[in-house]
């Protein structure tokens, strides 16, 4: 597993929708991993805020994934727990339930000081994070690179 | 949009500290807090250490706390910030939907626990406002409870909270002290354990009426009884009743003493007034009876006058006792050692009580008192006579003398140093009702008693500045305790009784006789003239002054009543002392010390005769004054 393989573009272009109005076309981004409408409602239709949050996530996520991978490799339970918790929190706020669930699983492993199966979970997490980043970029108005 | 609580115009601007290390969370929450109005001010820190530093210098209304930070995790984060933020409402924002952790933090003081991703701006703002209001209410409640608790703990009145069966759920120290228990023991005990039937009937009344006041006796564990005033309030909480208890035993005792004292004072004033008027009448009868005796032409006439005078003496003896009770006797107080008085009287007391009563005298000299020796003798003799009558089949009469110091203000005897003279018998004793009336004049339990013996004792003791108490139990006996103020220093003067001496009553000096009672004045004048005196008569002070000012020769003696119309005795005495300093003065009154002292006439400088007196005594007094 190489965290650097995860490529998430950073930066968000100007909004593609009007403030306060949700475009139902974004429903196409809805999946078990992501709920665009829930996120839209959470930010109360504030596109600027949405872009800010997405940008923060895109900036933060690769580093977090790298650090989680390193912590798993080093069997550093506390770091696994803490970093996964942080990623989970961010994902939850961005309605990324798939990423949040996987990050939560890793957090539990760190909590229980047992990283058995963590590699497989992390692998899934990487994929889901990349997908979430993609969806967020789409929602925020810029298509980003995930590869 | 639903109207938010915080949009109300009066809403306070709340200061919020956001403790969050996740930038996305922090950004989102900050945006939420900016909200639709300017009612929140937010400061953001990313680490617990930073938060603790900030809290040292600043106060916040609300703290939004993420539990998992770089420098702290889980419940530990909450428990570390809690002591530093006692007045702030803490709202936990957590990424963990951990029910157990949520309950634990809320139970320990967090106002709410919100899971990230499951709240939006409106919910967060509402939660913040509610959390603040709840915290404010809690603080108000905490202050109120602390105040009530302090009142409860430090109240001088007993406070107890009981259930329907009067079992104490809570009680303060004063309540425990009232029933004589440790506080811990009182909790769980029923008030019925300490009260009698009066408490149980009061309790029923309380429960029926819901609230009210009452009074009942409490039996302490040590056997002592205390009287409690009680204010009752039912169901301050369901099935919980409040009782505020005040120990009024001492107050009750003092009130009873005051009532008794006022009653005795009133009776004394009445008795003294009657005695005064009666003495004047006796004086007239006595005067003319003596004149009849002096001028009797045969033995039969003389004997009849003798019988009249004898009856008058008995009547005068009664009025003297009334005056003693009314504290209107003339006192000649001196420094006395009571032990010497008792020693002198011992023989007489022994004879009086008879052979079947064993007389025991205890105590040596314990100090001196300022009292009238004759009156003190009368006190001892009266008490001894009563004791004898209480022991018809014999017993022990114990007269004890000792020093006594009273410290307690609530005691029957005010604080001070006393000589305690107690007279105890092993006789029939008295019930409480008799004890409460024993000093009243004319109250007697004897078939032939006058009811004046103990009232005389009472009057003399009071007039001497002392106190008297009685302890008695039917079938066991009675003890009268007399407390006379101890005098620090002085020389003892005990006068031995003087033997009667033959009197020479004749004289030829000029006497100014002043009395508003015409009959008595005329009788006295007739007697004095029969003795050879030249008598100038006046009806009041003003007339006496006119006579004295016009009279050119020497006036050897002024005999004057005190209380008279137009000008009283004092004005007359002052005038005579000024214009005729060589004139002797003899004051006569049926209304002794009170009137004499009030009129400013000091007996040390004048001679006094209390009405009624025999002309023989009057004649002797005159000679003793004029022959000095």
**Domain holding B271: CATH number?**
1.10.287
B21/A92 touch (CB, cutoff 8 Å), yes or no: no
| Co-location of B278 and B404 in the same domain | no
E-state strands within A4-146? none
Query: Sheet harboring B211-219: ordered strands across?
Result: B168-171, B158-162, B240-247, B225-237, B211-219
Q: For residue A94, which residues of chain B lie inside 8 Å, CB to CB? A: 24
Residue A62 lies in a domain: yes
pLDDT at position B503 is 53
pLDDT at position A16 is 40
Domain count within chain A? 1
Residue B497 lies in a domain: no
Minimal Cβ distance to B116: which of A81, A89, A107: A89
Q: For residue B27, which residues of chain A lie inside 8 Å, CB to CB? A: 49, 52-53, 56
Closest alpha carbon to B108 in B80, B129, B136: B80
Given a cut of 70, is residue B493 above it in pLDDT?
A: no
Interval A25-72: pLDDT, tens: 888 888 889 999 999 888 888 888 899 999 999 999 999 999 999 999
- Asked which of B86, B117, B149 is the last residue of a domain, the reply is B149
| Co-location of B26 and B71 in the same domain | yes
Residue A42 lies in a domain: yes
Minimal Cβ distance to A93: which of B68, B70, B116: B116
| Co-location of B559 and B426 in the same domain | no
Global model pTM greater than 0.80:
no
For residue B167, the domain's CATH number is 3.30.450.20
Comparison of pLDDT for B235 and B571, the residue scoring more: B235
Residue B265 lies in a domain: yes
Which residues of chain A from 103 to 132 reach within 8 Å of chain B, CB to CB?
107
Closest alpha carbon to A65 in A97, A95, A87, A33: A87
Minimal Cβ distance to B95: which of A41, A42, A88: A88
pLDDT at position B439 is 83
Distance between A105 CA and the closest CA of chain B, angstroms: 11
Among chain A residues, the shortest Cα distance to B71 is held by A82
| Co-location of B238 and B137 in the same domain | no
Q: What size, in residues, is chain B?
A: 628
Measured CA to CA, the distance from residue A31 to residue B183 in angstroms comes to 68
Given a cut of 80, is residue A103 above it in pLDDT?
A: yes
For residue B472, the domain's CATH number is 3.30.565.10
Given a cut of 70, is residue B48 above it in pLDDT?
A: yes
Given a cut of 50, is residue A142 above it in pLDDT?
A: no
| Co-location of B60 and B201 in the same domain | no
Distance between B7 CA and the closest CA of chain A, angstroms: 18
Residue B346 lies in a domain: yes
- Asked which of B487, B520, B542 is the last residue of a domain, the reply is B487
Query: Can you tell me the mean pLDDT for B193-211?
Result: 84
| Co-location of B11 and B142 in the same domain | yes
Q: Does A45 touch chain B (CB under 8 A)?
A: no
Q: How many helices (H) and strands (E) does chain B have?
A: 19, 22
Among chain B residues, the shortest Cα distance to A58 is held by B24
Residue A14 lies in a domain: no
Minimal Cβ distance to B24: which of A53, A82, A85: A53
Q: What size, in residues, is chain A?
A: 147
Range(s) of the domain holding residue A52: 30-140
Instruction: Tell me the residues of B at the A interface, defined by beta carbons under 8 Å apart.
Output: 21-25, 27-28, 31, 66, 68, 70, 73, 95-96, 115-118, 120-121
Domain count within chain B? 5
pLDDT at position B328 is 57
pLDDT at position A97 is 92
- Asked which of B298, B325, B352 is the last residue of a domain, the reply is B325
For residue B578, the domain's CATH number is 3.40.50.2300
Given a cut of 80, is residue A128 above it in pLDDT?
A: yes
Comparison of pLDDT for B534 and B353, the residue scoring more: B534
Choose, out of A89, A91, A104, A140, the residue to mutate when testing the contact with B (most B CBs < 10 Å): A89
| Co-location of B343 and B464 in the same domain | yes
Interval B271-320: pLDDT, tens: 777 877 788 888 888 888 888 888 888 998 888 888 898 888 878 877 77
Structure tokens at B117: 């991703």
What is the CB neighbour count within 10 angstroms for residue B381?
A: 16
| Co-location of B406 and B474 in the same domain | yes
Chains A and B form CB pairs within 8 A to the count of 61
| Co-location of B313 and B348 in the same domain | no
Residue A41 lies in a domain: yes
Which residues of chain A from 78 to 97 reach within 8 Å of chain B, CB to CB?
81-82, 85-86, 88-95, 97
Interval B421-444: pLDDT, tens: 999 999 999 988 888 888 877 777
Closest alpha carbon to B421 in B486, B334, B476, B356: B486
Range(s) of the domain holding residue B264: 256-325
A53/B70 touch (CB, cutoff 8 Å), yes or no: no
Given a cut of 90, is residue B321 above it in pLDDT?
A: no
Interval B521-555: pLDDT, tens: 988 998 899 889 999 999 988 999 999 999 999 99
Query: Can you tell me the mean pLDDT for B366-390?
Result: 84
Q: Does A48 touch chain B (CB under 8 A)?
A: no
Choose, out of A19, A58, A85, A99, the residue to mutate when testing the contact with B (most B CBs < 10 Å): A85
| Co-location of B613 and B566 in the same domain | yes
Measured CA to CA, the distance from residue A105 to residue A128 in angstroms comes to 14
Q: Does A33 touch chain B (CB under 8 A)?
A: no
**What residues contact B234, with CB distance under 8 A and at least 6 apart?**
B206, B207, B210, B211, B241
For residue A46, the domain's CATH number is 1.20.120.160
Q: Does A49 touch chain B (CB under 8 A)?
A: yes
The residue behind tokens 């950004």 is B27
Measured CA to CA, the distance from residue B377 to residue B324 in angstroms comes to 13
Query: Can you tell me the mean pLDDT for A112-118?
Result: 93
Choose, out of B65, B73, B100, B117, the residue to mutate when testing the contact with A (most A CBs < 10 Å): B117
Q: Give the C-alpha distances (Å, rounded to integers) separating A120 from A7, A85, A100, A130, B127.
A: 19, 18, 16, 16, 39
| Co-location of B266 and B171 in the same domain | no
Measured CA to CA, the distance from residue B570 to residue A131 in angstroms comes to 125
By CB atoms closer than 10 A (0-12, 13-18, 19+), residue B69 is buried
Residue B505 lies in a domain: no
Q: What are the backbone dihedrals phi and psi of residue B464, each rounded to the nearest 5 degrees, phi first?
A: -90, 5
Residue A21 lies in a domain: no
Helix (H, G, I), strand (E, B), or coil: what is residue A103?
helix
| Co-location of B279 and B342 in the same domain | no
Helix (H, G, I), strand (E, B), or coil: what is residue B574?
helix
Among chain B residues, the shortest Cα distance to A107 is held by B96
Comparison of pLDDT for B105 and B450, the residue scoring more: B105
In whole numbers, what is the pLDDT of chain B averaged over residues?
Answer: 83
ipTM over 0.85: no
pLDDT at position A20 is 61
pLDDT at position A3 is 39
């Amino acid at each position: 597993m190489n965290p650097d393989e995860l490529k998430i573009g950073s930066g968000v272009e100007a909004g593609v929708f009007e403030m306060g109005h949700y475009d139902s076309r974004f429903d196409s981004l809805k999946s078990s991993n992501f709920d665009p409408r829930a996120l839209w409602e959470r930010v109360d239709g504030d596109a600027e805020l949405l872009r800010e949050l997405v940008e923060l996530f895109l900036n933060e996520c690769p580093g977090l994934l790298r650090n989680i991978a390193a912590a798993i490799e080093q069997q550093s339970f506390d770091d696994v727990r803490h970093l996964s918790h942080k990623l989970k929190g961010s994902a939850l706020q961005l309605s990324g339930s798939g990423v949040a669930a996987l990050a939560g699983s890793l957090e539990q492993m760190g909590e229980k000081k047992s990283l058995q199966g963590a590699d497989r979970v992390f692998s899934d997490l990487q994929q889901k994070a990349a997908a979430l980043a993609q969806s967020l970029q789409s929602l925020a108005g810029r298509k980003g690179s995930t590869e | 949009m639903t109207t938010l609580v915080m949009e109300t115009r009066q809403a306070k601007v709340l200061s919020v500290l956001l403790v969050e290390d996740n930038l996305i969370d922090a950004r989102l929450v900050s945006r939420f807090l900016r909200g639709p109005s300017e009612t929140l001010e937010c400061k953001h820190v990313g680490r617990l250490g930073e938060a603790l530093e900030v809290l040292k210098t600043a106060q916040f209304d609300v703290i939004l706390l993420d539990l998992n930070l770089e420098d702290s995790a889980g419940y530990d984060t909450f428990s570390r910030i809690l002591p530093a933020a006692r007045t702030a409402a803490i709202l936990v924002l957590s990424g963990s939907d951990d029910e157990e952790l949520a309950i634990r933090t809320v139970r320990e003081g967090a106002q709410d626990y919100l899971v990230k991703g499951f709240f939006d701006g409106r919910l967060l703002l509402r939660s913040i406002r509610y959390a603040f209001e709840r915290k404010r209410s809690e603080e108000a409640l905490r202050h109120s409870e602390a105040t009530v608790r302090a009142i409860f703990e430090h109240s001088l009145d007993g406070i107890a909270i009981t259930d329907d069966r009067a079992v104490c759920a809570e009680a303060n120290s004063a309540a425990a002290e009232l029933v004589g228990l440790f506080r811990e023991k009182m909790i769980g005990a029923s008030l019925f354990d300490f009260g009698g039937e009066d408490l149980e009937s009061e309790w029923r009344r309380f429960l029926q009426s819901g609230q009210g006041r009452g009074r009942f006796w409490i039996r302490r564990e040590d056997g002592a009884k205390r009287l409690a005033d009680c204010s009752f309030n039912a169901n301050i909480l369901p099935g919980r009743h409040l009782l505020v208890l005040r120990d009024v035993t001492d107050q009750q005792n003092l009130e009873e003493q005051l009532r008794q004292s006022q009653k005795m004072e009133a009776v004394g004033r009445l008795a003294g007034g009657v005695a005064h008027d009666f003495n004047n009448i006796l004086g007239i009868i006595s005067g003319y009876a003596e004149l009849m005796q002096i001028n009797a032409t045969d033995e039969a006439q003389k004997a009849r006058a003798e019988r009249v005078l004898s009856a008058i003496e008995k009547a005068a003896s009664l009025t003297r006792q009334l005056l003693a009770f009314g504290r209107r006797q003339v006192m000649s107080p001196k420094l006395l050692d009571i032990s010497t008085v008792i020693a002198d009287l011992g023989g007489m007391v022994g004879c009086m009580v008879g052979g079947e009563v064993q007389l025991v005298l205890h105590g040596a000299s314990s100090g001196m008192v300022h009292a009238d020796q004759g009156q003190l003798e009368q006190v001892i003799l009266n008490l001894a006579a009563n004791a004898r009558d209480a022991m018809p089949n014999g017993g022990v009469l114990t007269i004890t003398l000792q020093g006594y110091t009273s410290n307690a203000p609530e005691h029957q005897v005010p604080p001070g140093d006393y000589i305690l003279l107690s007279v105890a018998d092993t006789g029939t004793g008295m019930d409480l009702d008799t004890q409460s009336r024993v000093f009243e004049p004319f109250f007697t339990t004897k078939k032939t008693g006058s009811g004046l013996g103990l009232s005389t004792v009472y009057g003399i003791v009071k007039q001497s500045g002392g106190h008297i108490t009685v302890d008695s139990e039917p079938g066991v006996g009675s003890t009268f305790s007399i407390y006379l103020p101890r005098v620090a220093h002085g020389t003892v003067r005990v006068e031995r009784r003087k033997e009667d001496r033959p009197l020479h009553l004749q004289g030829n000096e000029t006497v100014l006789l002043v009395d508003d009672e015409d009959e008595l004045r005329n009788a006295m004048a007739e007697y004095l003239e029969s003795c050879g005196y030249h008598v100038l008569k006046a009806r009041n002070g003003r007339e006496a002054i006119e006579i004295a000012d016009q009279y050119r020769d020497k006036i050897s003696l002024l005999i004057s009543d005190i209380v008279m119309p137009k000008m009283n005795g004092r004005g007359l005495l002052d005038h005579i002392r000024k214009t005729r300093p060589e004139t002797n003065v003899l004051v006569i009154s049926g209304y002794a010390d009170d009137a004499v002292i009030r009129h400013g006439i000091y007996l040390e400088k004048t001679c006094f005769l209390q009405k009624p007196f025999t002309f023989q005594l009057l004649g002797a007094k005159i000679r003793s004054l004029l022959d000095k």
